[in-house]
Chain A
Amino acid sequence: MTGMPLLRVAGLSKSYGRRVGCTDVGFDLWPGEVLGVVGESGSGKTTLLNCIGGNLAPDAGKVVYDTRADGLRDTLAMSEPERRMLMRTDWAFVHQNPRDGLRMAVSAGANVGERLMAVGARHYGRIRGAALDWLERVEIAAERIDDRPAAFSGGMQQRLQIARNLVTGPRLVFMDEPTGGLDVSVQARLLDLIRGLVRELGLSAIIVTHDLAVVRLLADRLLVMKDGRVIEAGLTDQVLDDPQQAYTQLLVSSVLQV
């Protein structure tokens, strides 16, 4: 681990007209660390993630990333080609709805290969080899490589989306409700897979979710958001076991114990 954070977010704000998306959010993300962002619907979690991930332009703030080539750079001040290059090589974005992150009209293999081709791979055999390798790693049978994602179950689509994103070997993964809309047993397998990949590849990740069980399992550190602000931050176990803010206490006590 280096002495530098991988990502430093400072003073990030975004509003939609008079409605507040998120206000003055700041944190550091260290290499290999998984950060969870929790909060109720409408608390600004997804806005925050989209602003950091380059899908939305924030109104104010800095997103400084430790690029491989030239060290710390403010991604918001980068030129668009640079930022888009970063987004499809060193970063990955896993959408809540796999339909937003996949190309539904082309086969699973082409979906996984797209990022490779986008960075200049022009050898069909090697692209297909990499696609097969990644399908196996996310537990999708090799014979499904030429099927379209529409023929996949929700859990498989989500795993395909993960494979498609990780194929270029990114260092930072953004996940927006990765388990949303899946039933619990599929959720458990997906979480297991994500946890394995994150540990094995040494990925850093920011995971936005309203499901406390997800962050308990995956996240090292936690941010709790309410009304666009971070109201509590700390180690996951610390925040969940000993919540300080009234809202966090409410959130933790709202989880149904079975």
Chain B
Amino acid sequence: MTADYNFAYLDEQTKRMIRRALLKAVAVPGYQVPFASREMPMPYGWGTGGVQVTAACLTPDDTLKVIDQGADDTTNAVSIRNFFHRTAGIVTTEETEAASIIQTRHRIPEAPLSEQQILVYQVPIPEPLRFLEPRETETRKMHELQEYGLMHVKLYEDIARHGHIATTYAYPVKVAGRYVMDPSPIPKFDNPKLSDCAALQLFGAGREQRIYAIPPHTKVVSLDFEDHPFDPGHWDEDCALCGASNSYLDEVILDDAGGRMFVCSDSAHCRTRRKAGHVGPLGAPYKEEDA
């Protein structure tokens, strides 16, 4: 850590302001709290909201993990991890269990989270009603009066056009029986993990200047129709490297002849399983030097 930066980049007044917004967000689960988002040294869309929330939560004793689409080794994850390593001098990790704060883009880790952990989401568009109702004044009114029929109009439209609810990510949820919330673009596969999660879940949208939260052990319900219930989806394949049958899989194209493999999107989860001796159909036994 260089002394040129205040701890975790942001000045103390800014962190106080963000913490106040966080406290309000935790007190009103699912409610979008406005906050004075700062310019960060990265472009909007790269996680400026999540980074500010993480900066406001970090203490020198924290261990940080950053994932992007489940993986620890993609550009966004690596650069944010380096950013906090440099500006806060904290320890970083790739293991889900070892982290006290996990900043994520588009995934929830496969390993169950604990009460000691905070999960910070990067959110591009916090308003779930935005695509159907462009007026901010009107969407606020709809949240205020719990007029959420419009959300079902979107799901109706999905079924009418595709025969099933074709929303596969950013699938709208209702938090604690009150606010309808956009869970950020996580796959709907992860939606069941939002509910009754032991960890504190915080959502930061930098460009849109909104923070919202799901406190630990809060009921989160995915919206659906009685005759078209919510379905988290499944794969016919198992992970080709670790053989996991219940994790979220990425498709990897192998050649020009239609060859493909499916691997865990959560790279830490896959590595842990291979370390424990699980081997998938295309995987080789785990060796320490692979890591």
Contacts and interface: CB of A to CB of B under 8 A. Distances in A.
Contact of A84 (B145, B150, B161, B224): B145
B132 A113 contact: no
Nearest to A81: B145
Given A84-B147, A105-B132, A123-B225, A146 B153 contact: no
B153 A117 contact: yes
A123 B161 CA distance: 17
Given A107-B157, A109-B160, A128-B160, A122 B132 contact: no
A52 interface: no
Contacts of B135: none
A252 interface: no
B249 to A, nearest CB: 29
Nearest to A113: B156
Contact of B149 (A106, A119, A125, A146): A119
Q: Which of B157, B160, B161, B224 has the most CB of A within 10 A?
A: B160
B40 interface: no
Contacts, number: 57
Interface in A96-124: 103, 105-107, 109-110, 113-115, 117-120, 122-124
Contacts of A122: 152, 224-226
Contact of B228 (A115, A124, A145): A124
Contacts of B145: 80-81, 84
A106 B157 contact: yes
Interface residues of B, number: 18
Interface string B113-126: 00000000000000
A103 B153 contact: yes
Contacts of A115: 149
B150 A114 contact: yes
Nearest to A146: B160
Contacts of B156: 106, 109-110, 113, 117, 124, 127-128
Contacts of A119: 149
Interface in B148-185: 149-150, 152-154, 156-157, 159-161
Contacts of A81: 145
Interface string A124-140: 11011000000000000
Contact of A103 (B132, B152, B160, B161): B132
B227 interface: yes
A118 B227 contact: no
Contacts of B226: 122-124
Given A105-B132, A118-B147, A118-B149, A110 B225 contact: no
Contact of B225 (A103, A109, A124): A124
Contacts of A123: 225-227
Contacts of B161: 107, 146
B274 to A, nearest CB: 43
Given A107-B157, A117-B150, 16 more contacts: A81-B145, A103-B132, A103-B153, A105-B132, A106-B132, A106-B156, A109-B160, A110-B160, A114-B153, A122-B224, A122-B225, A124-B159, A124-B227, A125-B227, A127-B156, A128-B156
11 contacts: A105-B132, A109-B156, A110-B160, A114-B150, A117-B149, A117-B150, A122-B152, A122-B226, A124-B227, A125-B227, A128-B160
The 4 closest A-B pairs by CB, nearest first: A118-B149, A117-B149, A124-B225, A117-B152
